[in-house]
Chain A
């Protein structure tokens, strides 16, 4: 699993950087979003993928046998924040494109 995660992080970053370095602002925004997803997976890997069992407390569940909940909490909020940031960047790009399209006053 770690090897897969490491490859995915690399792929997401490579694609993200490729889009960021392009000429198109809209694609650059999405490139940044891809890199952000790469960071999320990196966080996941940092907590180690020891178990596929979610961290829910129930009778008879061994605390050592569940997935590490801390990176999950960090990623969950990061996903939403990333969403907000991407939306903001999209609207900003929209505004910039419209301004560029306007005849110079």
Chain B
């Protein structure tokens, strides 16, 4: 199952390329991954139907009892199948629906990753793993709702959905922690055995409240129902997958999952029935009042979610059975209807219910799919929806809670009214003002047709469907339940009669509320939590602004002084706890070498020159001197690697600073920097003194040498390297290095992005071509590349390594830029610095996960001993170091590119992208403003 999850997520990474190559047909390829999952799951059906479970487990954080534990029982199987069946069809539709729009690849990528996350959520047994997937689904939902991020309402809806479900998720996390801490339970599967203990424990109400908060926010229960209609800012196929079939069912899934341990208690039944019933009512009013068909569907989804919560609250066998069947059938018909509405919108250009009619003539296939889905939605035989509705009404007739029963019956009636409006009215009768010229492309007609027909077929084969999927799922909620056989025809039962009443009631509802104005007041009431939320959100932002005004002076210097004074006070504390005089006298015993004395004098001189320089160029030159002195100290302290790095960095920084200066064109210093401010000198001197004292206090204490000894002792036998510093960087502390070079990559992107917004149009080409440089430039550049590669290769055993090698090779790119050479500029230009960095990070990641398949740990080093014996350095740390080399090289080359690019004409194709970016910045005021503030 893990492999399948990774496959689906990886398919997401390939999505942008699939779109580039295949265009509208990209979805056909992307559907293969969820289809493979479906095939794997179907293979498990017989054994799970026989009562066994499929499990998978890898330790993750053993010290906390957290494991990558997956467990597929009947309930997980049902949900996972649903997610992947709908997940296989929706991308096919989406690629065609969005064809020609910007960022299609991104939508498909997010869809694939969402499918993987949602599948992970339902098969996770470990509480923490479950929560991670829970959050991932929320994040992808956010990204998908906000897909059209140039629209303010899309951004706002996405944020609302994220905050509402995210807030709920935090509370849910508290609940999961409560479970883990109180009952020492890390798995859902361990909960059932502790049922009695949990229900009698004092934390039971708090636990229930926490889990319910998570479930209710995710599944859009009153008063959190308002985020779901807002989520309709997402494209229709996204709504079909996330906001009807899967994501919003996550809360229902959670409730079903914990029902055996927490259910059948008045503190469970009462809140669920009340909240669910109110949600049915609120969703119903919203659905009947809405005129946008997509909004109608969204509100009707809220109705069904409410009904599901009521059914889980009732918790009788028939109610649970009804819930499970309804989950499946609703997912099928509702996603079909979302796709149908998407097609109508796509072809006729409107989703307003008043503007549509008679589309069946032009869009016959879509109309058939709509009718098939409508049969289910309205609960008419022989559809699966009929089976579901029978069961729902049977559950309602069975419960003593009259209000819940009424609400459930009402939900059936609302389903009928919505079915008439969405599935029937747009396609039949007189043509409306919006007309379609032709049928939607086949990529957009097949998926809704498959979904709608599947809903019908499940009704026809309901006994088999019941045995294979519903029975096992019911057994995982209530193992003792004797499930009655699912059937299309139960005879003349009270439920059948009530169903007929519901259909008539639904038709009446439709007629009575045909004029949206009639429901305006009620709809406003239902929508009011949204206004409350918005007001609260604004209030929070306002509080932030108040706090910001109180704490920030918006002036840099007072804030720096504040930080420094705080730090210096802490430093004084350190000094007081150390033994400074002892350190002084200790240092007095070791003679001051002439090298140290020279370094000290040189530092004072170059710092003095830097501080008193009037011209910035002079200051930068003096600062390079400071860097060289510091690198001398590193040599003296037995740190050749650091000294080399420092030398190259100082050189590169000097060149980069000069690049920046040429663009700044400052004739004279902006203000007189040499003017002596007494306060400034006092603060600077005080901080300097404190820092000196801190170092002395620090070295006066003893140092435990065991760590240093360990690294030196283990470097060769464990790390296969003689250069201990390099082994630490690429092996022992590889995770640190990984973080650091990621920062490097991010900084490179930021530098390029900011540099693009700077100009240097009036500056003549930044190239030096005096004869000697032109002659030696090329050999020097080539030599630098060779030297960089050589330093990298020897780094594991001698001074060098990826960092130093990358910097030196980067210096070649800088030289090339300075002299206008094509070495190695042409290669860099062809691959692009960003891609070099990405390849480097990929190398590092590959080295990180290399040991995982064979049961090793993340970043565990693997060496080929046979290759080592032949003198070949074949091991993952070498690959890791290569990644470091590439990232550092990419950073330097990219920085040099960005800082020397001048004028759009010289920038070639990059210039076009730049203009696009600028246009976009102008179109979205907030993004533009943000960039301005940066």
Contacts and interface: CB of A to CB of B under 8 A. Distances in A.
B691 A38 contact: yes
A34 B604 CA distance: 13
A63 B712 contact: yes
Interface in B850-891: 888, 891
Contacts of A4: 592, 596-597, 599-600, 633
A83 to B, nearest CB: 5
Given A55-B724, A68-B708, A87-B656, 6 more contacts: A8-B630, A45-B695, A66-B638, A67-B638, A69-B725, A80-B740
A9 B692 contact: yes
B642 A33 contact: no
Interface of A: 1-15, 17-24, 26-28, 30, 33-34, 37-38, 40-42, 44-49, 51-58, 63-64, 66-70, 72-73, 75-77, 79-88, 90-95, 97-99
Contacts of B750: 88, 91
A73 B728 contact: yes
A100 B758 CA distance: 12
A17 B677 CA distance: 13
A7 B600 contact: yes
Contacts of A52: 636-638
Interface of B: 556-557, 560-561, 564, 583-584, 586-588, 590, 592-593, 596-597, 599-600, 603-604, 607, 610-611, 616, 619-620, 623, 626-627, 630, 633-634, 636-642, 645-646, 649, 652-653, 656-657, 660, 663-664, 666, 669-671, 673, 677, 680-681, 683-685, 687-689, 691-696, 698-699, 703, 705, 707-709, 711-713, 715-716, 721-725, 728-729, 733, 736-737, 740, 743-744, 747-748, 750-751, 754-755, 757-759, 797-799, 803, 807, 888, 891, 895, 898-899, 932, 934
A14 B688 contact: yes
A98 B688 contact: no
| Chain B residues touching A, majority SS | helix
Contacts of A18: 611, 680-681, 684
A27 to B, nearest CB: 6
Nearest to B587: A3
B560 A80 contact: no
Contacts of B712: 55, 57, 63, 66, 69
27 contacts: A2-B695, A5-B637, A6-B587, A7-B600, A15-B607, A15-B610, A18-B681, A21-B561, A22-B671, A27-B673, A37-B627, A41-B633, A49-B637, A54-B641, A56-B724, A57-B715, A69-B708, A72-B641, A72-B725, A73-B725, A73-B733, A76-B725, A77-B729, A87-B895, A92-B754, A95-B757, A95-B758
A3 B588 CA distance: 8
B645 A79 contact: yes
Main SS of chain A's interface residues? helix
A14 B646 CA distance: 21
Contacts of B593: 1
B611 A19 contact: yes
Nearest to B657: A90
Contacts of A53: 638
Contact of B695 (A6, A17, A67): A6
Contacts of A58: 722
Nearest to B641: A76
B698 A45 contact: yes
B626 A75 contact: no
A75 B630 CA distance: 12
A67 B712 CA distance: 10
Contact of A47 (B597, B610, B703): B703
Given A21-B560, A57-B715, A87-B747, A11 B754 contact: no
A101 to B, nearest CB: 9
B639 A91 contact: no
A27 B619 contact: yes
Nearest to A23: B671
Contacts of B586: 2
A83 B652 contact: yes
Ranked 8 nearest A-B pairs via Cβ: A14-B688, A67-B638, A10-B692, A3-B587, A18-B684, A6-B695, A73-B728, A69-B724
A69 B646 CA distance: 16
A21 B683 contact: yes
Contacts of B723: 55-56
A8 B603 contact: yes
Given A2-B696, A57-B722, A70-B711, A77 B736 contact: yes
Nearest to B898: A91
Please indicate which of the listed interface residues B627, B642, B728, B758 has the most CB atoms of chain A within 10 Å of its own CB.
Answer: B642
Contacts of B711: 55, 69-70
A81 to B, nearest CB: 6
B751 A1 contact: no
Contact of A9 (B619, B691, B707, B744): B691
B737 A17 contact: no
A98 B599 CA distance: 38
B620 A5 contact: no
Contacts of A63: 709, 712-713
Contacts of A20: 560
Nearest to B681: A18
Contact of A6 (B669, B673, B696, B895): B696
Contacts of A15: 607, 610-611, 684, 688
B35 to A, nearest CB: 44
